[in-house]
Structure 1
Amino acid sequence: MGWYDGLLLMKALVVLTGSMLVLSAAAVERRRVPAMYVFGDSTLDVGNNNHLQGKQVPRANKPYYGIDLPGSGKPTGRFSNGYNVADFVAKHLGFEKSPLAYLVLKARNYLIPSAITRGVSYASAGAGILDSTVRNAGGNLPLSQQVRLFAATRAAMEAKVGARAVAELLSRSFFLVGVGSNDFFAFATAQAKGNSTAVGVGTQSDVVAAFYGSLVSNYAAAITELYKLGARKFGIINVGPVGCVPAVRVLNATGGCADAMNQLAAAFDGFLDSLLAGLAARLPGLAYSVADSFGFAARTDPLALGFVSQDSACCGGGSLGAEKDCLPGAQLCADRDRFLFWDRVHPSQRAAMLSAQAYYDGPKEFTAPISFKQLADKIVIK
């Protein structure tokens, strides 16, 4: 254990009254970073939405979610048959799994101990880059609110162990961000209904330009604010081919991908690359790795990876398994490791594992300018 880890843990043990922190030196030494903080949507959510109020909040709190989750086989709020991408990234970084959800930790009165020794997940199913996306997803914690919750967490951490210790911790920690798909689902829905007022009024190109402008502006604000709060290492997962999820395919008579949606997502990913390069140039010490979710899906052959289905949901019902939600009594495929998609929208546990592996230390074509592993090991200035 390094001097900082020992000092931080000692402070935490002394200051955090009523908390029992059990963390071995060996466990800390295996970690590439001291903590991990997660921001994003349902691909990363590990239980926040289970604690949100409202009938329309998307939740993964019923079988068959979690059916393959090691040790329990029960739903935990992950939109997967087991672990999700955040879990597998965390495993590569030396943790057992993703840090617990913010609202779970609040309910257990364990937020600050976890924030100091392991991290926190603020990811929320249905969340978007834009606050307006929440209206189309039934209620969630949008990206801007996730950042505000982190700011409040940071203030509480400083009150416990001091500003200097927290600054050191955050500068070495890994900030995983994966969000944007829901914004494109909401945009496509608005366009199908002829409702361009949500993103601007004018020609189609004007509407798309306004949409991109809002996305880039909000994304820049979130990353900049996290940087001001002490974050330095950003692992960013870009927007994948949203037009190829079963829920979108089933709307096409041929079952094919919605190419227009994919083109919109791909163009945004280009803007995201430029945004991050620009931020890194003007924010001293900011380091980042963009995981190319879109490229990974486009340039890998699911059949070669052992999948027998790349267009249908393992859990659901109807055409492509995408006409019904994954709920008790739904159709369930026999071999869940051979389906690319778990439900109408989300990847299976094995698909999440393979993508996280590619982002962490896979072929260079899937991360830029460095891999998640190189980012974790990078020494940055505070």
Structure 2
Amino acid sequence: MGTITNKLIVTVSILFRVLSICCAQNIAAFFVFGDSLVEAGNNFYIDTVAKPVFPNGIDFPKGTPSGRYTNSRIITDVIGEELGFKDYAPPFLAPNITGDMILKGVNYASSGAGILQATGSIFGERICMDRQLDYFGKTRQDIISKIGAPAAQALLRNSLYFLSIGANDVLFGEYETLDRNSYTNEVVSNFKSQIIRLYNMDARKFAVAGVSKVGSIPFEIDTHICAQNCAESLNNFAKLLNSKLKSLVEDLTNSLAGSILIYVDNYAVTEEIINNSRSYGFENVDYACCEVIGRHGGLIPCMEVSRVCSDRKKYMFWDPFHPTESAILIAAKYILDGGTEYVSPINIRQLANS
């Protein structure tokens, strides 16, 4: 009788532990996958040239370098705060990620990474999406070890999985393929398998962020002599991949029982900000705030020798590739609470409450 009572006490204590996590916000934990747009510092721990060194994170409230490719917070930091999380999802590879920290979520994103394993190979080591899922599998096992399988499954099924994908597959695919239709089919096929892997590891609530208007970033503007024609070609490439990703999201919601997948239209969001830049307070929408050389500061990544603009709020782009926190705050509002022209079939706040 004493053994049964002890087991009951342990079970109840575990349930209270999970409930205290779950009830702090509408979702139990926040897991982030993707590329440099959502990286939180994993690349500091691998052999790569793509590391977000200072002045990246120059305005970050928790110290620099922040591990983020922007002047302060990334989009998932802002979304997490809005959903009630007090701390940002930490990078998986950081050595101090221990104990109960993982019960609130982990960030697996890596600069240079893509859906395809070969994407971003010029940077050296990077954590491609397949490996990010392997790392999540390790986190899942750690969670099971901490709170037991039933409680772990409850936590994981009530967590949010944010996947920022495809930008690098488009940027590098531009130079690697002539058959864009076949190439994007390969990317989407791989991503489908990756989503199913996550689903089989108890993920149920997915936010899939598509490719932004990449033809308009300072890097592309500065590196192409064909100017507008090249920008349109690259943007059309992004739209082709996005259309297939959106269709996949719709199909998987119907085929994966109990799952909810939403599509974040980053292209529409960035286009809205660019087209109405003045109303958002931006004076520069095609020039990097952190720059070295280039007509638009787009030829060299942000690094120690870079010049940094004094008023970051007037710039849409922080560096040749990534937005400033000011642009991120605007984008987050559309992703969290926007209509179906920006995120569908529901927005992230609705997904969190579902």
**Structure 2-normalised TM-score?**
0.91
Quote the Cα distance in structure 2 between the aligned partners of 1:358 and 1:97: 22
List per-residue Cα deviations over 1:243-270 (Å, max 9, x = no partner): 1111111123475461111101111111
- The answer to whether residue 287 in structure 2 is matched with residue 312 in structure 1 is yes
Contact 1:248 1:258 in 2 (8 A): yes
Match of 1:57 in 2: 49
Contact 1:239 1:265 in 2 (8 A): yes
- The answer to whether residue 59 in structure 2 is matched with residue 68 in structure 1 is yes
Q: Which amino acid aligns with 1:359?
A: I
Quote the Cα distance in structure 2 between the aligned partners of 1:343 and 1:331: 10
Quote the Cα distance in structure 2 between the aligned partners of 1:7 and 1:357: 37
Match of 1:18 in 2: none
Match of 1:214 in 2: 186
Structure 1 pair 363/98, CA: closer, same or farther in 2 (3 Å)?
same
Contact 1:39 1:121 in 2 (8 A): yes
- The answer to whether residue 73 in structure 2 is matched with residue 83 in structure 1 is yes
Match of 1:164 in 2: 150
- The answer to whether residue 93 in structure 2 is matched with residue 103 in structure 1 is yes
Aligned length: 340
Contact 1:81 1:342 in 2 (8 A): yes
What is the 5 A alignment of 1:217-296? Answer: 217-253=189-225, 256=228, 258-296=231-269
Q: Which moved more, 1:253-262 or 1:38-47?
A: 253-262
Match of 1:113 in 2: 100
Q: Which amino acid aligns with 2:324?
A: S
Match of 1:366 in 2: 342
Q: CA deviation at 1:138?
A: 2.8
Q: Which amino acid aligns with 1:108?
A: N
Structure 1 pair 9/85, CA: closer, same or farther in 2 (3 Å)?
farther
Contact 1:127 1:137 in 2 (8 A): no
Q: Which amino acid aligns with 1:147?
A: L
Match of 1:176 in 2: 162
User: What's the Cα RMSD here?
Assistant: 2.1
Match of 2:126 in 1: 140
Q: CA deviation at 1:362?
A: 2.5
Q: CA deviation at 1:57?
A: 3.2
Match of 2:5 in 1: none
Contact 2:292 2:305 in 1 (8 A): no
Contact 1:179 1:239 in 2 (8 A): yes
- The answer to whether residue 32 in structure 2 is matched with residue 38 in structure 1 is yes
Structure 2 gap segments, 5+ residues each: 1-11
Q: CA deviation at 1:51?
A: 0.9
Q: CA deviation at 1:7?
A: 4.5
Q: Which moved more, 1:89-98 or 1:352-361?
A: 89-98
Q: Which amino acid aligns with 2:102?
A: A
Match of 1:344 in 2: 320
Q: Which amino acid aligns with 1:37?
A: F
Quote the Cα distance in structure 1 between the aligned partners of 2:216 and 2:348: 26
Contact 1:39 1:122 in 2 (8 A): yes
Q: Which amino acid aligns with 1:330?
A: S
Quote the Cα distance in structure 1 between the aligned partners of 2:172 and 2:192: 20
Match of 2:3 in 1: none
Quote the Cα distance in structure 2 between the aligned partners of 1:123 and 1:133: 14
Q: Which amino acid aligns with 2:327?
A: A
Q: Which moved more, 1:253-262 or 1:338-347?
A: 253-262
Quote the Cα distance in structure 1 between the aligned partners of 2:281 and 2:23: 35
Contact 1:88 1:97 in 2 (8 A): no
Contact 2:252 2:261 in 1 (8 A): no
Quote the Cα distance in structure 2 between the aligned partners of 1:120 and 1:44: 12
Structure 1 pair 80/329, CA: closer, same or farther in 2 (3 Å)?
same
Contact 1:57 1:140 in 2 (8 A): no
Structure 1 pair 93/109, CA: closer, same or farther in 2 (3 Å)?
closer
**Structure 1-normalised TM-score?**
0.84
- The answer to whether residue 351 in structure 2 is matched with residue 375 in structure 1 is yes
Q: Which amino acid aligns with 1:325?
A: P
Contact 2:112 2:120 in 1 (8 A): yes
Match of 2:306 in 1: 330
Identity of aligned residues (%): 30
Structure 1 gap segments, 5+ residues each: 1-5, 13-23, 191-195, 197-203
Q: 3-state DSSP class of the match of 1:276?
A: helix
Quote the Cα distance in structure 2 between the aligned partners of 1:80 and 1:9: 39
- The answer to whether residue 316 in structure 2 is matched with residue 353 in structure 1 is no
Q: CA deviation at 1:9?
A: 7.2
